[in-house]
Amino acid sequence: MDVKRATNDVGDKSGDGAEYDASADDFVPSPREAFHTQPDLCKELLRKVKSSVPLAIRSSTISMGSGLFVDKDVEDGCEIYRSVPLISCINGSEEEFCHSCLNSPKMEKGAAETGPLKRCQGCKVAMFCSKAIEALETHFNEYSKLGSEIRVCSLRKINAGEEITACYVDPTIDVSRRRALLKHEHFFDCFCTRCEDENKEHKAVLKGNGTLKTLHQAQTDMLNLMSSATKASKYPGLFPEFENVENVETQLRTIARRPFPVSHWPDHIEPLPLARLGIAGLYLGQGKPVPALTIGLRGKLMSRRRCGPDWVNEMDEIFGLLVAVAALPANHRVWEDKSFPPAGDIRNLAYGYLYAASKEATKAFGKDCKYTRVMCDLVAGLAAEMPDPKPSTKELEEASKAAQARLMNWAGIPSVYGVDLSH
């Protein structure tokens, strides 16, 4: 993350000239000190990690502190190192957590026991939490929490001497919210290439429409809308005005029109893609897989993400939508729609999407990650049961591509947004 201007110290008047107001927050940050000048400490830190390439701690090239560097080329999708954290903590604000992430089925001291153990609601794979991911697509390095072990994998080729970087916030959120969180929680202004490019793009698409202020307010309103709708689905009666998913979708479109009275909200600018995926989940939860697939496809295929852990997780969600649609009875009205692919095509496309996601999962999470293994096992299981055309054949590849083109045409999505289904 490129930090051209930092305000790490309390009372620092550099940067934008604004002094940090300690009274505005009950947390006062301690002065940041680099530790790369302490060779014994660096040696001890590196001794505790298992790395596939030589690592070194040096003065950061992109910030004021210390940085971790690779001294050998790292290919795309390779594990850089793994480490066991000193302590595992539970976020007190979370209502549920995955016991497997703590490497223990027992309730930790101080945590209130509310009933039997629950499976992880994020990954939905046994008691393994696969979605505790922090990643920054711009710098292509991904930090994964896997049980009680942390693994760091490359999302692109990293050259010898290059610094390993990570994102401090959710990489799927938009630039305005990312910068606000980094300023509030980490006390610096971010001017990385991704943030700068997205900010310039926002200004360009807003010409003749609203302002950055109206766009940022609309983004906040979208997030608040989806938060309320999600709570309404989880706790019936808490937010009755958000229990009707069709109304939530209408409200989302209304919010999206505010900053763009002349044109329309670009389909790839967040949080619209994530909001659409969220609404797809709400529809599916109410037993409505067809409208879920319609809006879910637009949210997934028209987003920026084309690789990485978030792309894998979202493709897994689309796979679930396709499976739900394929399971609809033969007399369902969707099969009467001549523009909609038949059940066989939906089956082939579901396999194609899962296969593509499993390939990317080996890079994003690692080949021996439990999440990747479960996904690959599912691909193998489906392949064994599929009729003609058989998996790993040119016939199935072409059938999947044709099914995707037909489904995208039905959903009103340009073909350029399709997933590469080459085997």
Do residues 76 and 154 make contact, with C-beta atoms less than 8 angstroms apart? Answer: yes
C-alpha to C-alpha distance for 163 and 55, rounded to whole angstroms: 10
Tokens representing 339 are 């523009």
C-alpha to C-alpha distance for 202 and 264, rounded to whole angstroms: 13
pLDDT confidence of residue 31: 58
Q: Provide the percentage of residues in the chain whose pLDDT is more than 90.
A: 52
- Please spell the DSSP secondary structure of 76-114, one letter per residue: TT-EEEEE--S-----TT-S---GGGGT-SSPPTTPPP-
Tokens representing 381 are 């299981």
Q: List, for residues 411-422, the tens digit of each pLDDT value.
A: 999 999 999 998
Which segment of 113-117, 188-192, 264-268 scores lowest on mean pLDDT?
A: 113-117
Q: List, for residues 399-408, the tens digit of each pLDDT value.
A: 999 999 999 9
pLDDT confidence of residue 294: 97
Reduced to 3 states, what is the DSSP secondary structure of residue 396? helix
Residue type, 266: P
**Local confidence band at 136 (pLDDT 50, 70, 90 cut-offs):** very low
pLDDT confidence of residue 109: 45
Least Cα distance to 129 among 97, 92, 172, 170 occurs for 97
DSSP at 336: G
Tokens representing 305 are 């993400």
Mean per-residue pLDDT, 144-161: 76
| Ramachandran class of 161: left when φ > 0, alpha when ψ lies in -120 to 50, beta otherwise | left
pLDDT confidence of residue 4: 36
C-alpha to C-alpha distance for 357 and 309, rounded to whole angstroms: 9
| Alpha carbon 302 to chain centroid, angstroms | 15
Q: List, for residues 231-241, the tens digit of each pLDDT value.
A: 999 999 988 99
Is 108's pLDDT higher than 50? no
Q: List, for residues 285-329, the tens digit of each pLDDT value.
A: 999 999 999 999 999 999 998 888 999 999 999 999 999 999 999
Tokens representing 22 are 């300690």
Is 83's pLDDT higher than 90? no
Spatial CB neighbours of 139, under 8 Å, sequence gap ≥ 6: 1, 165, 166, 167, 192
Q: Which residue has the higher pLDDT, 27 or 20?
A: 27
Q: List, for residues 265-279, the tens digit of each pLDDT value.
A: 999 999 999 999 999
- Which of the residue ranges 169-178, 188-197, 222-231 has the most confident prediction, judged by mean pLDDT? 222-231
H-run or E-run covering 390: none
Q: How many CB atoms lie within 10 A of CB 33?
A: 11
**Local confidence band at 137 (pLDDT 50, 70, 90 cut-offs):** very low
pLDDT confidence of residue 205: 94
| CB crowding 313-349: b at 16 or more within 10 Å, else e | bbbbbbbbbbebbbeeeeeeeeeeeeebbebebbbbb
| Alpha carbon 115 to chain centroid, angstroms | 30
Reduced to 3 states, what is the DSSP secondary structure of residue 151? strand
pLDDT confidence of residue 249: 98
Reduced to 3 states, what is the DSSP secondary structure of residue 119? coil
Do residues 137 and 194 make contact, with C-beta atoms less than 8 angstroms apart? Answer: yes
C-alpha to C-alpha distance for 337 and 307, rounded to whole angstroms: 33
Q: Which residue has the higher pLDDT, 11 or 286?
A: 286
- Which of the residue ranges 105-114, 177-186, 314-323, 383-392 has the most confident prediction, judged by mean pLDDT? 314-323
Do residues 116 and 200 make contact, with C-beta atoms less than 8 angstroms apart? Answer: no
Do residues 139 and 1 make contact, with C-beta atoms less than 8 angstroms apart? Answer: yes
Is 89's pLDDT higher than 70? no
Strand 79-83 to 49-51 pairing: antiparallel
Query: In terms of DSSP H, where are the helices of 206-342?
Result: 212-234, 245-257, 272-285, 289-301, 309-326
Boundaries of every domain in the chain: 305-423
Which segment of 109-118, 158-167, 313-322 scores lowest on mean pLDDT?
A: 109-118
Q: Provide the percentage of residues in the chain whose pLDDT is more than 70.
A: 77
Tokens representing 420 are 């590469």
C-alpha to C-alpha distance for 165 and 46, rounded to whole angstroms: 16
Is 131's pLDDT higher than 50? no
C-alpha to C-alpha distance for 21 and 17, rounded to whole angstroms: 12
Least Cα distance to 279 among 260, 255, 262 occurs for 255
Q: Which residue has the higher pLDDT, 103 or 180?
A: 180
